[in-house]
Amino acid sequence: MTPPTAAEVAERIEELYGAPLPHLEAHARDRGPGMLAALLASHRTIALAERNIIVHRERLRQLTHPERRIDAPEVSHLLDCARRLAEAVAVRDTQAATADAVLRSLGRAPAPQPPTTSPATA
């Protein structure tokens, strides 16, 4: 099973809390540490890792282009890029698996009922 993407995690957070991500981020800033803040932090980490994967994968393609010559200096760049790509994938997979497990363990609570007022008796 592949870990969820940042977009999928965002969608599940929105479903769970019943509001769009920007509103939830503002709410989490106002309330401080808690489950919502932790889930949003995981989402941001996954999104950053996904962007890093794209950047390093593209750089690796450039470095290994068939028409490009690979000399000694390029080898260190190639290895560094591959290492950074592997780190980004590991971060994404770990954070996504953790966020997925937490989101699966949570359920949306029903909305609270408005208080009922009883007619005053004289």
Q: What is the pLDDT of residue 50?
A: 98
**pLDDT of 115 strictly over 90:** no
Output 63-67 pairs: Cβ under 8 A, ≥24 positions apart: none
The pLDDT confidence band at residue 97, using thresholds 50, 70 and 90, is very high
At 7-26, the pLDDT tens digits run 999 999 999 998 899 999 99
DSSP of the chain: -PPPPHHHHHHHHHHHHTS-HHHHHHHHHHH-SSHHHHHHHHHHHHHHHHHHHHHHHHHHHHHT-TTS---HHHHHHHHHHHHHHHHHHHHHHHHHHHHHHHHHH--PPPPPPPPP-PPP--
**Average pLDDT of the residues in 37-50:** 97
Every domain of the chain and the residues it spans: 6-105
Q: Name the token pair of 94.
A: 């770990």
